[in-house]
Amino acid sequence: QVHLVESGGGLVQPGGSLRLSCAASGFNFVYYAIGWFRQAPGKEREGVSFISSTGGRTFHTDSVKGRFTISRDNGNNTSYLQMNSLKPEDTAVYYCAAGLDDFLDTRPGAYEYWGQGIQVTVSS
């Protein structure tokens, strides 16, 4: 069965860094774009960072540009989200998702496979 499993979350101080990993199995990872989303309490799920199937194209929402970097290793069926200069407003549950649309769509509905989510808390 399809699995997307996030890891690497936790508690970090403002200004710190964290790297999230998303390990995929059960589908042909190399055909899928990967999106990282986040959802804070009381807020809608927000698209954060996206990468095309080959890794040749990426997109980051304005609030994380210059701080977050998305990457993927198709040989290991894994995507990474490197998060630097973290701010309290980055606190959320982070989800990775996979979709066959290679247009770097920022809408959750464009992604068919989802991980379980992982908590990232940025706090002193």
Q: How long, in residues, is the chain?
A: 124
Instruction: Give the Å distances, CA to CA, from 116 to 1, 15, 38, 75, 98.
Output: 14, 26, 12, 22, 13
pLDDT tens, 89-121? 999 999 999 999 888 999 999 999 999 999 999
Yes or no: say if 33 and 52 are a contact pair by the CB < 8 Å rule.
Answer: yes
CA dist 70 and 122 (Å) reads 19
Tokens for 26, please give them: 């059960």
pLDDT tens, 27-80? 999 999 999 999 999 999 999 999 999 999 999 999 999 999 999 999 999 999
